[in-house]
Structure 1
Amino acid sequence: MGYDTERFVGYVNEGLLCCICRDVLEDPLQAPCEHAFCASCIHGWLVHHNSCPEDRQPLDLPILRPLYRYMKNDLNRLQLHCKNREYGCEMVCSLESIDRHECECDYSRIPCSNSDCPVQVERRNLNSHLAVCEYRSRECAHGCGYAILNADDAQHNCVAELRTELELLRSEMIYRMEEAKHEMESRLDSQRRHMVQKESILQKEIEELKSQMSTVMSDMHTLMASERQHRQELEQAELEKQELLELVKCLQKDYRFIRDGSKKAAIIPPLTRLELKQNQGRPWL
């Protein structure tokens, strides 16, 4: 619905009236055929129709557009009375600023801010009403700190109220402690499972290390035995080398003796170690 034409001061152009409600346009939209409507009016119309209400041309929501700028400017410049004129407000504003004024108008009727109070009062009289409102609350005069309504004065009991609050606090504390306990137990279970899993992994690693150590020790013993054998073979080879050197020296001496002391032209070939052993103790010919 648009703005009532009776509220406006002076003449209102026919082009600024809604084609459906015939009031001054509110949140205007325009069809391609240039007919203008209040947004709420045309939305309601298109629920049951698919054509312009003026010329019956096809019309749908997506093709509606904002009002032309010059028409929007003319609309905003219109002067009208506040809707609270009947309550005493004499303000006349432009259409562009009327909503802002009416939201702050002292003559606007607003509900009482006390809960459960059904009374609506003018904004300018709100404080006076709150001072005498039977639904207003006030702090208990006995010092318990509770806000009470006048109607509840006879039923208010400071001790009972404090006991109730104490029970509520106790229940809330117990609930929070239970929550904290469950959370800690959950964390401990999670940590326990993690430690068990970690212990299992470490145990497997230890067993693997033991197996590797056993293999290394076995290889080490094998290497040490092989080294001892090689050392013995080297020692035996060294003994044989010494014996061969001694044999060579003996043969060289015998050869020099034969060469210097014998008149035979033939040279006796050196004896082998076996022949030398066989000829030991025999006189030379």
Structure 2
Amino acid sequence: MGIEVDKFVTKIDDELKCCICYGVLENPIQIVECEHTFCLICIQEWVRRTPKCPIDRRDVTTESLKPASRLLNSFLNRLEMKCSFREFGCNSVVNMDSMASHTSECAYNPEVTFLCDKGCGVMLNVRQRQDHNCILEDILSNVENLSQKVKNIETENSELHKRIEILEQRSHINEELEEQLEAIEKKYTEMLSRLSAFRLSLNETLDPNLANGQTQETQRNSLMRDESNSSMKSHQRLGAIKTIVVVHLMFSSW
């Protein structure tokens, strides 16, 4: 396929155009018999479909095709072309035979990347370079990092608040248990006092002059046993309650 005419600086003569694609000749090929010249790809495709010269309709085979003369190629190579990346800002004008190397190295080629000339170290193509702002991007990057740190701190604070609430609940339970233990101990002390008073009253009530001394002694022993059993049960209940409270306090402190 030929090269578009509007890519050239000057007007192109018809002799330098392909009559098949109407572009400037690219890799020009001549038909030996009539010396008409066409683009390589254009004439190959034409002969494959219609084995005749597009101009004079002579029979043509692939053996009839040969490269165009050096003079024609030299003239084509000197034609001045506009850079393909003119829309991106390149105003270079180069000869046709140098266009391939210029395209691969052109600073405005969107496929070619260069280090930012402001020293930030970022590789940019021509499109990115137009909108690139090192200072702004650096600030935005720092803002993003700080925002992430704030989110992490907020998450840690939320977890700490939950732990504080749990500890406060445990502390409240411990205070209630300690109050209950104090109330039980107070009640136990009162019970012991009442038992002592009952024992004293019993001794005063019993008559030492009763005739049946054995009956008196038996009665006293029975009452003392009841008193001892009652006291022992109270001790056992208090001990069990204290054990439960202590175990609960130990587990809640964990």
Structure 1 length as normaliser, TM-score?
0.39
Which has the bigger relative contact order, CA under 8 A and spacing at least 6? 2
**Greater CA radius of gyration, 1 or 2?**
1
Whose helix fraction is larger, Structure 1's or Structure 2's? 2
Structure 2 length as normaliser, TM-score?
0.44
